Amino acid sequence: MHDLIEDFFNYLNFERGYSPNTLSSYKRDLVRFDKYLKDNKVPSMINVNRSIISAFITVLSSFGLNAASIERSIAAIKSFFGYLIREGRIRTNPTSDIKLPQKSKKLPKALSMLEARNLVEAAKDPRDKAMLELLYGAGLRASELTSLTLNDVNLDVGFVKCFGKGGKERIVPIGNSAVSAIKQYVRSGREKLDSKTLFLDNHGNKLTRQGLWFIVKKYVRSSGVRGSASTHTLRHSFATHLLEGGADLRSVQEMLGHSDISTTQVYTSVSRERLKKIYLSAHPRA
């Protein structure tokens, strides 16, 4: 359980870019849940079912937690089991029918087109440039990018094959900028290394999500992007800028690998918000 929690927090920290406060709260919640499972002799995550989680939720009230803290604990547990499902660690999600009160969905942060361009162009190292071009140019998740092999990119046709949540395969087109950056990276010495993995660290090993996170953060600082940004921010920017450029929602859904189009629809809200700001700042009657 401890190792699974650590993996989960590496994902939240390095791939999703959660704030330190949220990470700290979630860790507290999951450590408490872990202790409850041990006290009740639950041997592993596979053995956790809905009744165990429901009993734990009931116990939370006895800890003196307020309603908001209990809701957060439930959210942390649901997020944790969702992660385990996506990573193939468990087959069934015991929290799937445990509902949280409906809250307004927070819009994902997207960079402006200028910020995205500056961020990608800040990278002078061939490997880093190729990675940023793919994150923004194909909307890949960090885990998808670091899992790419040399055979997954077709530079003649301009497509990349990746495996998303649940091992679902998808094909995403990539533009000339990404193709050129990957070719330059391979020519710069990558082709001499004996590994099928596309992106390697300085020791010739597969680049980790944590390593990618540090690289992206470095260029976020040097490019002058305001506020925080992560690999997921580039994925959000990819989707938002496609829709702003006239792409249809179904095509963006397919490129992002979303199984449900409602997940993709949040990006139309981002686009509408940006259009409203442009209108209010530019129209004389606004």
**Residue whose entry in the numeric block shows the structure tokens 């079912």:** 49
Q: What is the DSSP string of 45-67?
A: GGG--HHHHHHHHHHHHHTT--H
CA distance 279 to 274: 9
C-alpha radius of gyration, the chain, whole number: 21
CA distance 133 to 283: 35
Cβ atoms of 217 and 133 within 8 Å: the answer is no
Q: For residue 40, what are the contacts with CB-CB under 8 A and spacing of at least 6?
A: 52
Active site residues: 141, 165, 232, 235, 258, 267
The residues with which 173 forms a beta bridge, in sequence order, are 159
Cβ atoms of 7 and 209 within 8 Å: the answer is no
Written as six digits, the tokens of 112 are 């402006």
Amino acid at the residue 145: L
Which candidate, 114, 110, 129, places its Cα nearest to that of 218?
129
CA distance 131 to 146: 9
Dihedral sign for Cα atoms in the order 9, 10, 11, 17: positive
| Buried/exposed code over 207-228 (b: 16+ C-beta within 10 A; e: otherwise) | bebebbbebbbebbeebebeee
**Residue whose entry in the numeric block shows the structure tokens 């992660």:** 83
Written as six digits, the tokens of 191 are 């082709």
